[in-house]
Chain A
Amino acid sequence: MQQFPCPFCGLRNETEFHFAFEAGHPRPEPAKDVSDAEWAKYLYLHKAPKGKSSEIWLHLTCHEYFILHRDTVTREVLSCDVLPGAEA
């Protein structure tokens, strides 16, 4: 049972979290300027790295989305960041 840090709540069990998306994929817009290939790449062609990775996770109990940096091999949690959001 891994423990992830929610920036809002602190360390919680992994069962309280859902994986949302791989970080670092800005949504290509506007739709009319986006090719089929770009859209497919955004939706499906992710890196899923072995080792250090940055992912967006959702803390289900408080609904905070945040960026989780972790190592997918050692399961080590490296750090977490709040989403930059529109205000950033």
Chain B
Amino acid sequence: MSGSRHAELGRFIDRSQPRSFTFDGQRIAGFAGDTLASALLANGVHILGRSFKYHRPRGLWGMGADEPNAIFDVRLGQEHRPNQRATTTLLEDAMVVTSVNANPNAAKDRFRLMDRLHRFLPAGFYYKTFMALDWIRYEPMIRRMAGLGRVDPGYAPPADVPHLVAVCDLLIVGAGPSGLAAAHAAAQSGRAVWLVDDAAQLGGSLHRRGGQIDGADWTAFADATRYAVLNAGGRILCNTTVWGAFDHNVFSAWVRRLDGPDQHMRIRAAEVVVATGAIERPLWFANNDLPGVMSCEAALEFLQCYGALPGQRILIATANDASYTVASALAKAGAEVTLVDQRHDAPDADDITQIKSGILTAAKGKTHVQSAVVNGQDIPCDAIFCSGGYTPTVHLWCQSGGKLDWDADQDALVPRPGTSSLKPIGAAAGQFGLKAALATGHALFGNGNGPETDAVTPRAQAPVRPDPNLPGRQWIDMQNDVTLKDVGLAAREGFTSVEHLKRYTTLGMATDQGRTSNFAGLAAMAAVTGRTIPETGTTTYRPPFEPVPLSVIAGRRRGDLFNPLKRLSLEAAHCDMGARFREYGGWLRPAVYGVGAEADLAQKEAKIARDIAGIFDASPLGKLEVIGTGAGKLLDFTGYMRMSTLKPGRARYGFMLAESGIVYDDGVVLRLDENRFIVSASSSHVDGVRARLEDARQDRIGHRHVYIHDVTQGLVTLTVTGPKTLDVIAGAGIDLPDLPHMGVVETPLDGHFLRVARISFTGDRSYELTVPGRNAEGLRARLDASLKNAGGKWIGLEAVMILRAEKGFILIGKDTDGNTMPHDLGWVGPMNKRDDEYLGKRALFTPEGQSETRRQWVGLRVTGDAVPETGSHLIPTDGPRRSLGFITSSYFSPNLGRPIALALLENGRALVGTTVGCFNDGSVRNVEVVDACAFDPDWSRLNG
């Protein structure tokens, strides 16, 4: 236990507000402003997790989204958040935190012996293992032992994250020194700036590194920038991660809030500045994953921002000037520091033990650093802070399509100018040091000299590379447990492209997105194959920049709001009448009415509708008004059946085909007068039918001659069906005009219009009564009273489905599929007779359309009471077994007292009267092929 809390340092924590939480059952004290990482560090807890594959003990490496090891399962009250990074999770009182991939806990993990087996778990282990035939036997075991956190299936986070769509003139991502300088200059020149940073306060690296700007402490410049930005009409967004760059300058941002639900923002920005800084690279030596080995920058951050001192006897290993600030800060805070610099020309460090030309080759210790091996000598220490240089954070740049160049002077991949419209500045552009950050930021929007600083520009970082000849295991990717040897093995097995290396070894594919490992992998592959880094290439950057909770991305679009259903005008009245609702084609409609088993109720309703009368709400049926002198011409083209020959006051059944000849929709077209038609598209196809009508209108008929108006949702249709239909309507006080079958008329009722269409979807005498939505309740009440007197019943969609199936009426999309053409359904007239053009015509005459083995629409008759399953395949009764088709609908018919089934069957019409096999779940029963219409085959009831 060597971590401690410094008496004064810690600019982010509020010592007057103590907080506490438990980690793997142990109580840990901290303060408001602490992250879980800083609190654990200050309390000397070093083993924070077990590695993904080998179950090695792991401690803290980084300070933000780069953290590969410290990933926790966090519970707070009812809330459960899996896979939280210790470095980015703010401590809240009473959090219950547990390590992941460890059993029972990180310190005592029973799979720790996995590490001894590392020889048997090489790169590509899973690929190699799961090639074997019996992989299915050990896959569950491997799954249990590998991986990170577990999702609690019993917990659903609230769907309360708002999605905000925003537009801004200038978006600056990152509020470190370069972002501040850019924002300051832009705001001064009157630009409305959105300044976004993922930390709680503006400043970025200045919080840990400090510095003088314009002769005062940097905080004065940060305050001035905040004032200037707000004053110019801009916004400051802290605790906000811009995690993705998308087409046409749209950026996704995740706003974390402690006092309310998080927010998801979609920001469309006219101009974007990338001031995202850089990420420190690790060093590569044996056991470089031992708890106690940490990034230099992170050590400085924990000390200055949280007062957490991660060790007492500290060894710093580096090859750049930036680490010297870290060494002196730690020494000043009371630690004993040894500075090991690889460079022979390293600058002198005052008052600090320094080893120049020092090469760190190994860390020693069992579960924590006990000593470091430098130039062959053991140096006792309890922490090793290392720096292998800096990698510019170019994720957004690359996501937006920007390319990278190798900058040998900076030893880094930097944005190639002109390859993206984004503007990288400061360390993100490979311009290191405070002076360069301020200068590049100011230069974008300011005139003259920018903010002054006396900071010394660091010398270019010396190149540091993994050494394949070094003994011991050097970790390249700590989160996915990839070592330098794995890279060598991948190269020997031929995976020398970085994209292959990444997939084969999983290097850089963990949730840290390879922040600390990608460069190392690249450098290692270059070293192993004797190529340069630019020759080796880079992998692709994709959103998100850091893991974003799915609840944030989903927002409120979950549950009922995921895909909101259309609702009936009369929903409340149906509820009062005992309706039980279900979704049908995007509409919430009554399935059945009453209490009891749904199937039984549907049977009863279907029976009463045939014996007496039934009423159902048919409002979702499409009502597309097609108006104008070109209306007939339009409908002739879009329909399979001609409609221009329809007489006013009459209706005709028809299909709409796709150009591929497939039946897209069916429905009745009503002609109210010479230039006014109504297309009753299926309730779930209204939008699609309308789009096809518009297509023909705008591209073919001419948009001035015909207009299309969708009035579906403004009207209510109640359909009365059954032998007592006329009594029910008369009893409701409605004066029914004399109408033939397929006749339609509009008459006044109670001061509004009533459209009566004598159309039957049940085979019984039926009338569709349509009124404006606001007048629907009056019509419903009249009909309801009369229906009760007659002994009829409201019927739900389940009963309607039975009634239409008894008659062999099809439901497009259920009884047809993506191969069904009109002649498969028995409608051959138009294709044989029509000379004019219509949608899909030519496709009907292709070899496929004329094939003699097409599946045709038939009915099936079975013996016994068992309803054959919908979806069952039909097979020959002898010879080799193959599918001849399948059952599309099947029900028990209460009116026939036996099961009925409809099917698509190869060459089915010729097979009427014969027997085929019906295959379901391994068993076969014989069924007779019959006509699709099972009930009232001579249609006597239509006029009854």
**Shortest CB distance B247–A (Å):** 5
Task: For A36, list chain B residues within 8 Å (CB).
Answer: 846-847
Query: Nearest CB to that of B703 among chain A residues?
Result: A85
Chain A, interface size category, equals: 20 to 34
Partner of B248 from the list A3, A30, A85 (CB cut-off 8 Å) is: A3
Q: Does B578 reach chain A (CB closer than 8 Å)?
A: no
Q: Say whether A31 faces chain B, with CB atoms less than 8 Å apart.
A: yes
Knowing A1-B246, A39-B846 are in contact, say whether A86-B701 is a contact too (CB < 8 A): yes
Distance A85 CA – B694 CA, assembled complex (angstroms) = 11
Q: State whether A29 touches B837 (Cβ < 8 A).
A: yes
Q: Is A28 an interface residue (CB 8 A)?
A: yes
How far, in Å, is B823 (CB) from chain A's closest CB? 15
A75/B248 in contact, CB under 8 A? yes
**Nearest chain A CB to B314's CB is how many angstroms away?**
48
Within B425-472, the residues touching A (CB, 8 Å) are none
A86: min CB distance to chain B, Å = 4
A1-B266, A1-B268 known; A65-B250 Cβ under 8 A: no
**Complex Cα–Cα for A87 and B702 (A):** 6
**A85-B699 contact given A1-B247, A31-B842, CB 8 Å threshold:** yes
Query: CA of A31 to CA of B637 in the docked complex: distance in angstroms?
Result: 13
Known contacts A39-B843, A43-B660, A43-B843; decide if A85 and B698 are in contact (CB<8 Å).
yes
Query: Is B659 within 8 A of A2, CB to CB?
Result: no
Q: Are A65 and B268 in contact (CB under 8 A)?
A: no
A65 touches B837 (CB 8 A): no
Among A18, A28, A34, A85, the one with the most B-chain Cβ atoms within 10 Å of its Cβ is A85
Cα distance A34–B703 when bound, in Å? 27
Q: Does A83 contact B (CB under 8 A)?
A: yes
Partner of B698, one of A2, A18, A29, A83: A83
In A37-86, which residues have CB < 8 Å from any B CB?
Answer: 39-40, 43, 58, 60, 63-65, 75, 83, 85-86
Q: In this complex, what residue of A is CB-closest to B690?
A: A63
Question: Is the C-beta of B56 less than 8 angstroms from some C-beta in chain A?
Answer: no
Residues of A within 8 A of B660 (CB): 43
Taken together as a complex, chains A and B put the C-alpha atoms of A36 and B842 apart, in Å, by: 8
Q: Which residues of B contact A29 (CB under 8 A)?
A: 837
Is the C-beta of B125 less than 8 angstroms from some C-beta in chain A? Answer: no
Q: How far is the CB of A16 from chain B (nearest CB, A)?
A: 13
In the docked arrangement, what's the CA distance between A34 and B659, Å?
A: 14
Choose among B250, B700, B845 the residue that contacts A31 (Cβ–Cβ < 8 A). Answer: B845
- Which of B248, B659, B708, B845 has the most A CB atoms < 10 Å from its CB? B248
List of B residues within 8 angstroms of A31 by Cβ? 837, 841-842, 845
Residues of A within 8 A of B847 (CB): 36
Contacting residues, chain A, for B701 (C-beta < 8 A)? 86
Chain B 676-704 interface 0/1 with A at a Cβ cutoff of 8 Å (1 = within): 00000000000000110011001111111
| Cβ distance B622 to chain A, nearest Cβ, rounded Å | 15
Those of B824-863 within 8 Å (CB) of chain A: 837, 841-843, 845-847
Q: Are B248 and A65 closer than 8 Å at their CB atoms?
A: no
Say yes or no: A86-B702 contact (C-beta < 8 A), given A1-B248, A43-B659, A65-B695: yes
CA gap between A38 and B246 in the complex, in Å: 39
Closest Cβ of chain B to A63, distance in Å, is 5
User: Which residues of B have CB within 8 Å of A28?
Assistant: 842
Q: Do A85 and B846 touch (CB < 8 A)?
A: no
Chain B residue numbers with a CB within 8 Å of A3 are: 248, 268
Q: Which of B698, B704, B842 has the most CB of A within 10 A?
A: B842
Q: Is the CB of A20 within 8 A of B695?
A: yes
Shortest beta-carbon distance, B410 to chain A, in Å? Answer: 29
Determine if B702 and A63 form an interchain contact, defined as CB atoms under 8 angstroms apart: no
Report yes or no: A75 in contact with B247, Cβ–Cβ below 8 A.
yes
Please tell me if the beta carbons of A83 and B699 are within 8 angstroms of each other in the complex. Answer: yes
Task: Give Cα A20 to B696, complex, Å.
Answer: 12
Q: What are the residues of chain B within 8 A of A86 when measuring CB–CB?
A: 699-702
- Contact of B837 with A30 in the complex, beta carbons under 8 Å: yes
Mark contacts of B794-827 with chain A using CB atoms, 8 A cut-off: 1 yes-contact digit, 0 otherwise: 0000000000000000000000000000000000
Chain A residues within an 8 Å CB radius of B659: 43
Q: Is the CB of B846 within 8 A of A63?
A: no
Complex CA–CA separation, A87 to B703 (angstroms)? 8
Q: Which chain A residues border B268 with CB–CB below 8 Å? A: 1, 3
* Residue in contact with B842 in the complex, picked from A18, A34, A63, A65, CB distance below 8 Å: A34
* Complex alpha-carbon distance, A20 and B658, angstroms: 13
Known contacts: A39-B846, A86-B702. The answer to whether A65 contacts B246 by CB under 8 A is no
Give CA–CA (A64, B698) in the complex, Å.
8
Query: Is B694 a contact partner of A65 (Cβ separation < 8 A)?
Result: yes
CA distance A34 to B847 in the complex (A): 13
A52 to B708 Cα, complex, angstroms? 33
Expressed in whole angstroms, the minimum distance between the Cβ of B661 and any Cβ of chain A is 10
In the complex with contacts A1-B250, A3-B248, A75-B247, A87-B704 CB distance below 8 A: yes
User: In the assembly, what is the distance between CA of A66 and CA of B266, in Å?
Assistant: 27
A79 to B224, CA, bound (A): 44
Complex: chain A residue closest to B251, CB-CB: A1
Q: Once bound together, how far apart are the Cα atoms of A31 and B942, in whole Å? A: 38
Q: Mark A15-32, 1 if CB is under 8 A from B, else 0.
A: 000101000000011110
> Which of A40, A58, A65 is packed against the most chain B CB atoms within 10 Å?
A65
Which residue, B660, B701, B703, has most C-beta atoms of chain A within 10 A? B703
Please, which residue of chain A has its CB at the minimum distance from the CB of B847? A36
Smallest Cβ-Cβ distance to B658: which chain A residue: A43
Q: Which residues on the B side are within 8 Å of A64 (C-beta)?
A: 698
B694 touching A63, Cβ below 8 Å: yes
User: Cβ of A2 and Cβ of B842 under 8 Å apart?
Assistant: no
Cα–Cα distance between A58 and B575 once the two chains are bound (Å): 38
Task: Please give, as numbers and ranges, the residues of chain B lying within 8 Å of A87 by CB-CB distance.
Answer: 702-704
B758-781 residues with Cβ-Cβ distance < 8 A to A are: none
With A and B bound together, what is the CA distance between A28 and B700 in angstroms? 13
**Inter-subunit contact B699/A65 (CB<8 Å):** yes
Question: For A58, what are the chain B residues with a Cβ–Cβ distance below 8 Å?
Answer: 691, 694-695
**A31-B842, A36-B846, A65-B694 in contact; A2/B247 too (CB < 8 A)?**
yes
Task: Name the B residues within 8 Å of A60 (CB-CB).
Answer: 691
- Please give the distance in Å from A59's CB to the nearest CB on chain B: 10
Bound Cα distance A40, B846 (Å)? 9
- Inter-chain CA distance A64–B697, complex, in Å, is 10
Residues of A within 8 A of B250 (CB): 1
CA distance A30 to B703 in the complex (A): 22
* Residues in chain A near residue B703, CB distance under 8 A: 85, 87
User: Shortest beta-carbon distance, B42 to chain A, in Å?
Assistant: 43
Chain A residue at smallest Cβ distance from B705: A86
CB contacts (< 8 Å) of B694 on chain A: these are 58, 63, 65
List which A1-15 residues lie within 8 A (CB) of chain B: 1-3, 14
Cα(A58)–Cα(B696), bound, Å: 12
Residues from 223 to 256 in B contacting A, C-beta threshold 8 Å: 246-248, 250
- Which chain A positions have C-beta within 8 A of B248? 1-3, 75
Does A39 lie within 8 Å of B246, measured CB to CB?
no
CA distance A65 to B691 in the complex (A): 9
Bound: A29/B835 CA distance, A: 11
Beta-carbon contact of B702 and A39 below 8 Å? no
Q: A18 vs B695: C-alpha distance in the bound complex, in angstroms?
A: 12
Query: How long is the Cα–Cα vector from A14 to B700 in the complex, in angstroms?
Result: 26
Residues from chain B with a CB closer than 8 A to the CB of A18 are: 691
Cβ–Cβ < 8 Å partners of A83 in chain B: 698-699
Bound CA span A61–B53, Å: 51
In the bound complex, how far is the Cα of B266 from the Cα of A85, in angstroms?
37
Q: Complex: how many Å from CA A20 to CA B703?
A: 18
Residues of A within 8 A of B843 (CB): 39, 43
Interface pairs (7), CB distance under 8 Å: A14-B247, A39-B846, A43-B843, A65-B698, A83-B698, A85-B700, A87-B703
Q: Which 3 A-B pairs have the closest CB atoms?
A: A86-B702, A31-B842, A1-B250
Chain A interface residues (CB < 8 Å from chain B): 1-3, 14, 18, 20, 28-31, 34, 36, 39-40, 43, 58, 60, 63-65, 75, 83, 85-87
Given A2-B247, A58-B694, A87-B703, 9 other A-B contacts at CB below 8 A? Answer: A1-B246, A2-B248, A31-B845, A34-B842, A58-B691, A60-B691, A64-B698, A75-B247, A86-B700
